[in-house]
């Protein structure tokens, strides 16, 4: 059972890859990216890594795929919206747009 209070760190699984020659031939994600927890065989949204033929990038974090990060987002075309809703759209500081201030009993 997963605890709600624990912060998670997500890696990336992508539909393609490319090699950055400037950074010493480092493999980077390309195409559509999904959030993935290392040690699991599926993405956060439930896709099987092997059946979907997704490439794992354990060294690339989910926040590196955002265009404003300047990280590994050069050839990322699309982020999975289901993974983004779980892993965060802006990274670890992402919070829901609404907050209930007076919940009913």
- In-domain check, residue 30: yes
**Residue 4 above 80 pLDDT?**
no
Nearest residue to 62 via CA among 72, 47, 54: 72
- E-strand ranges in 1-105 read 11-20, 26-36, 55-61, 76-79
Strand partners, 87: none
**Residue 32 above 90 pLDDT?**
yes
**Residue 5 above 50 pLDDT?**
no
Instruction: Write down the pTM of the prediction.
Output: 0.75
Q: What are the backbone angles phi and psi of residue 88, rounded to the nearest 5°?
A: 110, 140
Q: Which domain holds residue 25?
A: 11-87
**Overall domain count for the chain:** 1
- In-domain check, residue 92: no
- In-domain check, residue 62: yes
């Amino acid at each position: 059972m997963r605890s709600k209070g624990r912060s998670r760190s997500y890696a990336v699984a992508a539909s393609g890859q490319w090699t950055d020659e400037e950074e010493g031939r480092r493999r980077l994600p390309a195409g559509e990216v999904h959030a993935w927890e290392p040690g699991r065989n599926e993405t956060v949204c439930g896709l099987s890594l092997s059946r979907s033929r997704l490439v794992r990038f354990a060294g690339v974090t989910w926040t590196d795929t955002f265009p404003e990060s300047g990280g590994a987002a050069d050839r990322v075309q699309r982020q999975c919206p289901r993974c983004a809703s779980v892993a965060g759209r802006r990274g670890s500081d992402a919070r829901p747009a609404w907050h209930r201030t007076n919940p009913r009993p």
